[in-house]
Chain A
Amino acid sequence: MEHQERIIAFSPREITEDEREYASNSYLMSLFALFVGLPLPIFNLMATVIFYLGKRKSTPFVKWHCMQALISQLFIFFFNTVAFWWTITYLFFPERFASDYSFNSYFSYILLVLFINGIEIVSTIYTAVQTRKGIHVRWFLFAELTDQILGHENTR
């Protein structure tokens, strides 16, 4: 996670209280939906999509953070979906656990997904706290993607 204060035009002093709250909520929304929607991996993504659509005409700061939250959720959605359906398959066809290779690949994948989700949750909480203070937090890779999707002119 890159923490680049003041590199971009958003200065905490220029960010209003409402903007800080909305930007922070875009991250909190995905966390809340994650816990409510467990074990279905679609809810957290849906929550960020809905929040983004609701705030797409908002100020650049809010829009930018909604998009970063959305991209991060989209990223883990694919991993979580595979983990979810793999688990469902095992619940209905437990005989597949009989193969060592099959169990090892499944279990390693579940650990990987837990690891990715762990990083995501910690980063989301950290970013929600920072944006609430008006601090602009750029995530590794997702920030660049957000810039490209929303256009540099909007964010810089």
Chain B
Amino acid sequence: MKTLGKFLFVLAAIAAVYFILFQVNWEKLFKLEEKQERLEEKLGKLINDELKASYGFIDDDSSKQVLDSIFSPLLEANGIARKKYKLMLIKDSEVNAFALPNNQIVLTSGIINFLDSADYLSAVLAHELAHCEKKHVMKSLITNFGLDVLLSGSGASEVTNFLTGQAFSRKLEQEADEQAVDYLTKADIDPKNLIHVMELFDLYLTGDLDLTWASTHPAPKDRKAYLQQKINNTAVEDIAKPSLSQEQWEKFQEHVEKQDGEVD
């Protein structure tokens, strides 16, 4: 009994020491968060420069306004400051959208022309937003390149290629999809749009189109399955009118196509 008492005392003492140590915010103490933010900012700039060197940007006022009218409601409804994010549209026929470090989301002209409605684009943006908010970009970069390479600032083109042409791990993609359902629901946008996007990709995946966004992600069929499950467990109340009418969306597509054809 005496031994058991002593044993319990030792265990309690160890648990108490651990509890006390756990109360200290070591990350803050070592300023890890600050360092990571600085690294993310630096990488974001490097990759942005790399993109500017490789692609033309569609950044006229009209396009910016349309994209903003789709993206802003999503951010506002989820309590995310608009100025925190930078949304860019590049001239590229690949059907692709990707998140970059430092809260930057890039859409290609290809994906604008491919998607049938503004709500579909909201669904894609919600997915990319989830990658940013869940810090998937930095997590994947650290895993794939290591902190040393990232801190040295070398290999910007490899990092850019990785982010534009690779998906995150299956686990992170599913996490982003499920988070996107929550974002869309809060913004009163039907989360089923995400499933419709999957169906669209599934339909065209075997065709000639360069569907980078779908081919680098888990199979649309698998995504549809877990998305359906998530939507079934989510209370979807009001569905707001689309932020852009079908006519406005098609007009925007035409505009982007025209801009895409223009030589910089």
Which residues in A have their C-beta under 8 angstroms from that of B21?
108-109, 111-112
Which residues in A have their C-beta under 8 angstroms from that of B258?
none
* B232 within 8 Å of A (CB atoms): no
A-side residues, CB < 8 A to B, are 93-95, 97-98, 100, 103-105, 107-109, 111-112, 115-116, 140-141, 144-145, 148
Task: Give the most central of A95, A97, A104, A112: most B CB within 10 Å.
Answer: A95
Which residues in A have their C-beta under 8 angstroms from that of B18?
108-109, 112
Which residues in A have their C-beta under 8 angstroms from that of B143?
93-95
Q: A104 with B25: in contact, given A140-B6, A141-B7 (CB under 8 Å)?
A: yes
CB pair A115 B139 closer than 8 Å = no
CB pair B139 A98 closer than 8 Å = yes
Which residues in B have their C-beta under 8 angstroms from that of A105?
22
* B209 within 8 Å of A (CB atoms): no
List, sorted by A's number, 28 A–B pairs whose CB atoms are closer than 8 Å.
Answer: A94-B142, A94-B147, A95-B138, A95-B140, A97-B142, A98-B138, A98-B142, A100-B27, A100-B33, A103-B26, A103-B32, A104-B26, A104-B27, A105-B22, A107-B27, A108-B24, A111-B21, A112-B21, A115-B17, A116-B14, A140-B10, A141-B3, A141-B6, A141-B7, A141-B10, A144-B3, A145-B3, A148-B3
The docked-state distance in angstroms from the alpha carbon of A104 to that of B139 is 17
Q: A112 with B14: in contact, given A103-B26, A103-B27 (CB under 8 Å)?
A: yes
Main secondary structure of the interface of A (DSSP, over half): helix
CB nearest to B134 among chain A residues: A98
Among B111-145, those with CB < 8 Å from A are: 135, 138-140, 142-143
Q: List the 4 closest A-B pairs by CB distance, nearest first.
A: A95-B139, A108-B21, A144-B3, A141-B6
The docked-state distance in angstroms from the alpha carbon of A66 to that of B26 is 39
Which residues in B have their C-beta under 8 angstroms from that of A141?
3, 6-7, 9-10
CB pair B2 A144 closer than 8 Å = yes
The docked-state distance in angstroms from the alpha carbon of A128 to that of B7 is 24
The docked-state distance in angstroms from the alpha carbon of A5 to that of B33 is 53
The docked-state distance in angstroms from the alpha carbon of A100 to that of B24 is 11
Q: From the candidates B2, B14, B142, name the one contacting A95 in the complex (CB within 8 A).
A: B142
Given contacts A104-B27, A111-B21, A140-B10, 7 further A-B contacts (CB under 8 A): A94-B142, A95-B138, A95-B142, A104-B24, A112-B14, A112-B21, A144-B3
The docked-state distance in angstroms from the alpha carbon of A95 to that of B27 is 14
CB pair B26 A107 closer than 8 Å = yes
CB pair B17 A112 closer than 8 Å = yes
The docked-state distance in angstroms from the alpha carbon of A43 to that of B21 is 28
The docked-state distance in angstroms from the alpha carbon of A103 to that of B14 is 19
The docked-state distance in angstroms from the alpha carbon of A111 to that of B17 is 10
Q: From the candidates B3, B22, B36, name the one contacting A104 in the complex (CB within 8 A).
A: B22
Which residues in B have their C-beta under 8 angstroms from that of A93?
143
Among B220-261, those with CB < 8 Å from A are: none
The docked-state distance in angstroms from the alpha carbon of A149 to that of B18 is 30
CB nearest to B143 among chain A residues: A95
Which residues in A have their C-beta under 8 angstroms from that of B14?
112, 116
The docked-state distance in angstroms from the alpha carbon of A147 to that of B18 is 29
Closest beta carbon of chain A to B167's beta carbon, Å: 15
Closest beta carbon of chain B to A43's beta carbon, Å: 23
The docked-state distance in angstroms from the alpha carbon of A98 to that of B131 is 13
CB nearest to B20 among chain A residues: A108
